[in-house]
Amino acid sequence: MSIGKKRIPSLLAALCAAVIFGMSFMFSRLALDVAPPTVLLAFRFTTAFVAMTLVVAANALVGKLRGKPLFAFSLKGKNILSLLALGIVQPVLYFIFENYGILYTSSAVAGTIIAVVPIACIVMDVLVLHEKVRRRQVLCAVLCIGGVALIYAGGETAVSPLGLLFLLLTVAADAGYYTLSHKAAARFTPFEVTYVMFTVGMVVFIPASLVQGAGHMAETFLPAIQSGGFWAAVVYLGIVSSVIAYFLLNFANGNLSVSETSIFSNVTTVVSVLAGVLLLREPFGIFQFLGVAIILVCVYLANVTPKKE
């Protein structure tokens, strides 16, 4: 297959990000046992912001000492309005829509609808970015939806109009993120994109958590602050699942088409299911096996560049 210089690193970056996201569901579940979503998100994105700020400070110090920083980072003089818009879309709107979508529907319905993200990204690729999409990519994206549906087969299928609306908005937000991140790569480094994203997330979710806890701050925050499991989850979600995973994803978005990168989102479902089976001893039957197999085969085929199509 014909592969550009950055194609393989970008595919590996997208795959690694999907694996990290897949593991994040267990940590989110652990943290949400002791804290409401807005509190978790406030701690998560504050941790991400602090971690990235320390990296930026260390990079600047290295630059002063040796005359050259370890990596390029400078937002000075750049128009960051597009990055602020990206930060509003992801993480702010995405997490709000996803949380409420899951609240009003079953996990089976939520997982299947969110699997439509690659299809939405194909539409964005064609209509907004004007990039060529191969028929194989479309077919694989459609089959992945079937694979996700098989994984959740037999689960509760409760759905409400409000829950459906929030899930569709989740899909739109995620497709918007992939598109905006892809466009931002022309002017910003992956680290700059990631830094602004989580700065926006912190600025929005800290006030949101304080509003939610108004009048009962102790009951809202103390159980989380006093829980070692919560802090372990925050470290994973804030540093690994936010800083590292989104840096990898933003890097991949800059070098691959939106359609190519987004289909890896279905690998997240595979990892979360396998993690549940291996670590939480959740059931794994023939439907789950077939669903996992379909997703993995389709993700591979969608990103193989044939000599002729």
Q: Is residue 38 part of a domain?
A: yes
Q: Is the pLDDT of residue 4 over 70?
A: no
Q: Is residue 195 part of a domain?
A: yes
Q: Is residue 307 part of a domain?
A: no
Structural domain count, the chain: 1
Decide: helix, strand or coil at residue 283.
coil
Structural domain of 236: 7-56+81-302
Under the banding of pLDDT at 50, 70 and 90, the label for residue 132 is confident
Judged on CB neighbours under 10 Å (0-12, 13-18, 19+), 37 is: buried
Q: Is residue 67 part of a domain?
A: no
Mean pLDDT of the chain: 89
Judged on CB neighbours under 10 Å (0-12, 13-18, 19+), 306 is: exposed
Q: Kindly write down the DSSP assignment for every residue of 217-277, as one continuous string.
A: HHHHHHHHHT-HHHHHHHHIIIIIIIIIHHHHHHHHHHHS-HHHHHTTHHHHHHHHHHHHH
Average pLDDT over residues 27-55: 92
Cα separation values, 122 from 12, 148, 176, 302, Å:
20, 18, 11, 12
Average pLDDT over residues 289-296: 92
The letter for the amino acid at 154 is G
Question: Of residues 109 and 254, which shows the higher confidence score?
Answer: 254
Running DSSP on this structure, what letter comes out for residue 72? -
Alpha-carbon torsion 274, 106, 212, 196, what sign? Answer: positive
Average pLDDT over residues 183-192: 93
Radius of gyration over alpha carbons of the chain, in Å?
20
0.85 cut: is pTM over it? yes
What pLDDT digit, counting tens, does each position of 233-286 carry?
A: 999 999 999 999 999 999 999 999 999 999 999 998 888 888 888 877 777 889
Q: Is residue 62 part of a domain?
A: no
Q: Is residue 2 part of a domain?
A: no
Give the rounded percent of residues in the chain with a pLDDT score beyond 70: 95
Q: Is residue 175 part of a domain?
A: yes
Q: Is residue 254 part of a domain?
A: yes
Q: Which of 266, 255, 276 is nearest to 21 (CA)?
A: 266
